[in-house]
Structure 1
Amino acid sequence: MASSKIRRLGMQCGAVIMALGLAACTGTPGPSPSSSTGTSAPAEPTATFNFGTASMPLGLDPAVTSDSEAYRVTRQVLEGLVGVDGSTGQTTPLLATEWKDSNNGLSYDFTLREKVTFHDGTPFDAAAVCANFNRWFTFPADLRKQAPGISFQSVFKAYSDAPDFSIFKDCKVVSPTDVQINLTRPFTGFLQALTLPAFAISSPKALEAQKANVLDTARNGQAISAYATHPVGTGPFMFSAWDEQKLTLTTNQAYWGNRGQIATINFIPYDRAETRQQALLDGRIDAYDLVTSGTFDQLVKKGVQIVQRDPFSVMYLGINQAVAPLDKLEVRQAIEMSIDKETLIRRFFIDNTAQASQFVPPKLSGFNNNAPSLGYNPDKAKELLKKAGYNGEELKFYYPLNATRAYLPTPEKIYAEISRQLVAVGINVKPVPINWEDGYLQKVQSPGDHALHLLGWNGSYADADNFLGPLFGEARPEFGYSDADVFHKIERARALPNGDGRNTEYQSINAEIAASVPAVPIAFPISALALSNKVESYPASPVLNEVFTNVRLKP
């Protein structure tokens, strides 16, 4: 009974966070979420916290990766100018204590927190902020090819070699504690976008010393920089060590805010849900993420605390229109009609996971209740394939091995079921399994022969642009999708002020994307964490902004 109560409380808290977090986020300053509020000196952190993850990170430079496991670690080490309040969803002070916009939303002035140092002892100041923005703006073309998931492009649209197309104009040092960021055109979600892990501020000295823009180090099948093996920020935890067994962070004794109870974090990878579960039951870890539907009930029966996050991700079947015959709408429609989403969700996702007919979650402004959905209709799918002249051409179907993500709990099983459904309507599928740590993400997001693939997107801030912009705001080799009209509409919507007009525009965009089927959205998954009895509370966040200074351990 106790475990059921904890589970219900976790669900309720997640729902409150989500409901409040989806309100319009403003730049109104408030108390720092990390600062100490008591009058007495806080106790020195002493605890060791072992956290089970689904895989090792794909690198620890968040500016050049879109990997959620990388973000989990770098959120502890690096901080941005602004953060997100976990209970209200408001943009809050972090490395900036105040801000204001001017010039019709084209200029943002930030007052920076004083007496903050990077982990390498160098000072945090306006020059450091501009060094980071200028690095992102001037990313060399070679790096951009090696790292196709860079957030700067999806948010700011272009780099210094195409300044007329970039939303970012420049960063100016006004004084050591004042910085101004200028845009070329209004961007309503600018402040919210700055809460992305990709825009956390690194030590300029460390970036230069470790050649952060040179991806000449191999790790887990990925090309990364030396800096991506040892990030240096201002956060409450410092990078300590990383080997095949674990990644270790230690408390930052010079941290400007609350350091919490934890002195050492060990992130320990277990690529199977069953092995993560057993490690928790054996006491080898104190918590783990990404409980799957197959282990959920077992954990509840054993009295394990489970905290659920409200859905803020979308799982989809990617379709690459650069591969014939997927350039034909009828073939893409047939693929959508061949997929039984209800069966997939019932078998492989946690209860209350909702079907998806679009890429924006239902609680976000811009969600379209009337977005066209073709539904599950295998007979109609066969008719469309015949009409399109499909003659059984082989379609390579990429899917990841040894991976669990909030949006993709058991990829091998999900692949097997989707493949079975596609074959049932006459589609010739060739399986292409790729280990997640052998470059799966880069392979499906780069030009290639991937016809179909499994992937998803986890939102990082409460704006429809955070979903539609990165996925469909520009031509991407993941989908071979090049609808200039949709690109223009997304560009226009992101500059509109919050309100009915912007909401209507995003609803129209959702409907247009759904009608052209560049991918098949399948589910808005609920994700969950399991906690040992050692944990009193965990800061579960729909946007995964979970800083471990806010973990509370029992006395």
Structure 2
Amino acid sequence: MRTRSRPLFPITLLLLLGMLVVFVTACGGSATTTAAPGTTAGGPTDTTAGPPAASGELRIALKGEPDTLDPHATGSRTSYGICRNIFDTLVYRDEVDKSFKPGLAESWTGSPDGMTYTFKLRQDVVFHDGTPFNAEAVVYNMDRIINPETQSKTSAELIGPYESSKAVDEYTVEIKFGSPMSPTSLLDALSQAFLGIVSPTAAEALGPDFGRQPVGTGQYKFKEWRPQTELVLERNADHVWTSPVYKNQGPAKLERVVYKFMPEAATRVAALEGNEIDLVLEVPVESVERLQGNDKFTLVDAVAPGFPVVFWLNVESGPLSDLKVRQAILYNFNRDGLVNGVFRGLYAPAFGPLSPATWSYNSAIESMYPYDKAKAEALLDEAGWTVGPDGIRAKDGQKLTLRCFDMAEPRRGEFFQANMKEIGIDVVARLVTSDELWGVTREANTYEVASTWYASSDPSILNLLFDSKNVGTGFAISRMKSPELDEMLAKGMSTLEDDARAKVYEEIQTYVMENALLVPLYSETEIDAIASKFQDYALERGQYPAIHDLYIAE
């Protein structure tokens, strides 16, 4: 089987197609949307022929372990990818036409004011532990997400001004919000694994240990987790409530999925080439060309929508409290050198707080900070930072030194360090784990620069990352506390019509860049390699492994 070609920018253009809104509200009444059973984005699902019966296993190499398998508590992309297979969601997002289709919910309606949404649920679903799925289970999950004891890192923010839920009857649930909630934003949130539906019985019985022994309704059941070694899922033979976004409408076609923890990139690739592993996520750029030329493997790639890979600039820490210093950094940042030099042109450049693959992306920001070393130096001069005998700028006896904390990829920090030294800024780059970064960025005086990125198919990811209330949580890392920005973010979440929402988020992107709150590096570009015997591997939201349709070719 020949390796798939890698058209990065055509993929980006496809992702930029407007989102199809399936949740429409109208004056004087509500609207209902359902998707026809047995259909996918490409048309009716062929249930008379298809992949063979379940067999074999998929071995996936991960660079790190999940922090937890409690979808409501985690904010980790690693956890997301595993939780997607254990837990189902109320709705699903079609990766082709970007519409929302039934999951555990068969249909839904929204009130004209955007404050009440009603979901009709499937009646044939059972949790892995035998607990029946019903409206009370959904109420339990929604309330659990906002319970402080859950310590949600992402899910609570995704449901915005959630107020309460109630079971109207056994299979009808009503969800209320304290202020208008965009239907597109709500459906997008409900379609994410962070809002996977957990078993109330197991969650209550296990308490804080639920994340180590998760129970859902998904295509796979949790079997075991051996720390620093592997995590194993087993096929749920009873799973017959598949969303129409998938081609496989029955149980999984694999018996087991085994996640192997391998911190070193070279080790992961070598394991793939040595047939010890079947799937490697995030193939390093230096291995792409070699794997592309080997018919034993298929490379699958996509540009993730949402928040790109950035270096945050902490406005509360020392020299970065001065806008001129932050702008100087942006003007001197050589994006072309990083993307086309270090990463060999395999990653799509980023220019602001949203990836170009995100609907509502504001292309006007691309011209805001052209590479201009002379302008960067002039701004630093105006800010009072003068070049010392060692080439590093100083002011009032203090050197212009920035502590930079980065995850996973040392070359970003190394490039940034060399790039900033050209204008007299001393960058002390340190590679850290996600847990270390999470700890560092909760305090104002422990860092100047830090990296993060978040795949998201809705621009409301910016609410999580820039709202003042999230400063100190590990999310709003620029630490900008702006009532003006908060007001715009709230408007973006509550505006019901998508064209109007897009304009709000375009303004937010401009505001972020005018205030130089971050240095956009590149859009998160996922490049995965899988053994060619596996068919129908895909990526969800341009980043997360989607194995629901996966099978082994005979």
TM-score (norm 1): 0.85
CA contact (8 A) 2:413 2:430 kept: no
Equivalent-residue separation in structure 1 for 2:58 and 2:10 (angstroms): 23
Equivalent-residue separation in structure 1 for 2:9 and 2:55 (angstroms): 31
CA contact (8 A) 1:32 1:93 kept: no
CA contact (8 A) 1:18 1:542 kept: no
1:11–1:513 distance in 2 versus 1, CA, 3 Å: closer
Would you say 1:98 and 2:103 are equivalent positions? Answer: no
- Structure 1 counterpart SS, 2:137: helix
Which residue of 170, 173, 177 corresponds with 2:171? Answer: 177
Would you say 1:323 and 2:332 are equivalent positions? Answer: no
Q: 1:398: Cα distance to partner? A: 1.1
Could you report, residue by residue, the CA deviation over 1:40-81 in whole angstroms, capped at 9, with x for unpaired residues?
999652221111222211211121221111000000001111
* Mapping for residues 323-362 of structure 1, pairs under 5 Å: 323-349=317-343, 351=345, 353-362=347-356
Would you say 1:120 and 2:129 are equivalent positions? Answer: yes
Q: For 1:203, give the aligned amino acid.
A: S
Would you say 1:209 and 2:205 are equivalent positions? Answer: yes
Could you report, residue by residue, the CA deviation over 1:191-211 in whole angstroms, capped at 9, with x for unpaired residues?
122112221111111111121
Q: 1:499: Cα distance to partner? A: 4.5
Q: Which moved more, 1:519-528 or 1:108-117?
A: 519-528
Equivalent-residue separation in structure 2 for 1:278 and 1:414 (angstroms): 24
Equivalent-residue separation in structure 2 for 1:554 and 1:122 (angstroms): 35
Could you report, residue by residue, the CA deviation over 1:114-134 in whole angstroms, capped at 9, with x for unpaired residues?
131111111111111111111
Q: 1:338: Cα distance to partner? A: 2.5
Could you report, residue by residue, the CA deviation over 1:460-514 in whole angstroms, capped at 9, with x for unpaired residues?
x2x2223x22222334232211111011012112222334433222222211111
Equivalent-residue separation in structure 1 for 2:324 and 2:310 (angstroms): 19
Would you say 1:389 and 2:384 are equivalent positions? Answer: yes
- Structure 1 counterpart SS, 2:114: coil
CA RMSD of aligned residues (A): 2.7
1:289 is matched with 281
Would you say 1:377 and 2:372 are equivalent positions? Answer: yes
CA contact (8 A) 1:398 1:444 kept: no
1:469 is matched with 463
- Structure 2 counterpart SS, 1:265: strand
CA contact (8 A) 1:11 1:307 kept: no
Equivalent-residue separation in structure 1 for 2:132 and 2:339 (angstroms): 50
* Mapping for residues 34-73 of structure 1, pairs under 5 Å: 38=47, 44-73=53-82
Report the number of matched residues: 511
Equivalent-residue separation in structure 1 for 2:523 and 2:553 (angstroms): 33
Equivalent-residue separation in structure 2 for 1:488 and 1:527 (angstroms): 33
- Structure 2 counterpart SS, 1:527: strand
* Mapping for residues 493-504 of structure 1, pairs under 5 Å: 493-504=492-503
Equivalent-residue separation in structure 2 for 1:203 and 1:339 (angstroms): 48
2:293 is matched with 301
Q: Which moved more, 1:480-489 or 1:13-22?
A: 13-22
Q: 1:263: Cα distance to partner? A: 0.9
CA contact (8 A) 1:358 1:521 kept: yes
1:503–1:275 distance in 2 versus 1, CA, 3 Å: same
1:38–1:354 distance in 2 versus 1, CA, 3 Å: closer
Q: 1:99: Cα distance to partner? A: 0.9
Q: For 1:340, give the aligned amino acid.
A: N
Equivalent-residue separation in structure 1 for 2:131 and 2:114 (angstroms): 32
Which residue of 12, 15, 19 corresponds with 1:18? Answer: 15
Equivalent-residue separation in structure 2 for 1:279 and 1:51 (angstroms): 10
CA contact (8 A) 1:397 1:430 kept: yes
Could you report, residue by residue, the CA deviation over 1:206-238 in whole angstroms, capped at 9, with x for unpaired residues?
111121xxxxxxxxxxxxx31111111000101
Any gaps of 5 or more consecutive residues in structure 1? 157-166, 212-224, 404-410
Q: 1:537: Cα distance to partner? A: 2.4
Equivalent-residue separation in structure 1 for 2:442 and 2:553 (angstroms): 43
Equivalent-residue separation in structure 1 for 2:299 and 2:130 (angstroms): 39
- Structure 1 counterpart SS, 2:113: coil
Equivalent-residue separation in structure 2 for 1:65 and 1:171 (angstroms): 22
1:20–1:428 distance in 2 versus 1, CA, 3 Å: closer
Could you report, residue by residue, the CA deviation over 1:137-195 in whole angstroms, capped at 9, with x for unpaired residues?
2224xx64xx6x33313541xxxxxxxxxx11210111111111011222222112211
1:32–1:130 distance in 2 versus 1, CA, 3 Å: farther
Any gaps of 5 or more consecutive residues in structure 2? 24-31, 242-249, 386-393
CA contact (8 A) 2:525 2:542 kept: no
User: Percentage identity across aligned positions?
Assistant: 23
Would you say 1:168 and 2:162 are equivalent positions? Answer: yes
Equivalent-residue separation in structure 1 for 2:402 and 2:450 (angstroms): 10
1:457–1:121 distance in 2 versus 1, CA, 3 Å: same
Q: 1:342: Cα distance to partner? A: 0.6
Q: 1:309: Cα distance to partner? A: 1.1
1:242–1:289 distance in 2 versus 1, CA, 3 Å: same
Equivalent-residue separation in structure 2 for 1:448 and 1:66 (angstroms): 24
CA contact (8 A) 1:77 1:237 kept: yes
Equivalent-residue separation in structure 2 for 1:424 and 1:261 (angstroms): 55
Would you say 1:440 and 2:437 are equivalent positions? Answer: yes
Would you say 1:398 and 2:396 are equivalent positions? Answer: no
1:546–1:434 distance in 2 versus 1, CA, 3 Å: closer
Q: 1:14: Cα distance to partner? A: 5.3
Which residue of 256, 277, 287 corresponds with 2:240? Answer: 256
- Structure 2 counterpart SS, 1:284: coil
Equivalent-residue separation in structure 2 for 1:234 and 1:269 (angstroms): 25
Q: 1:33: Cα distance to partner? A: 7.5
1:510 is matched with 509
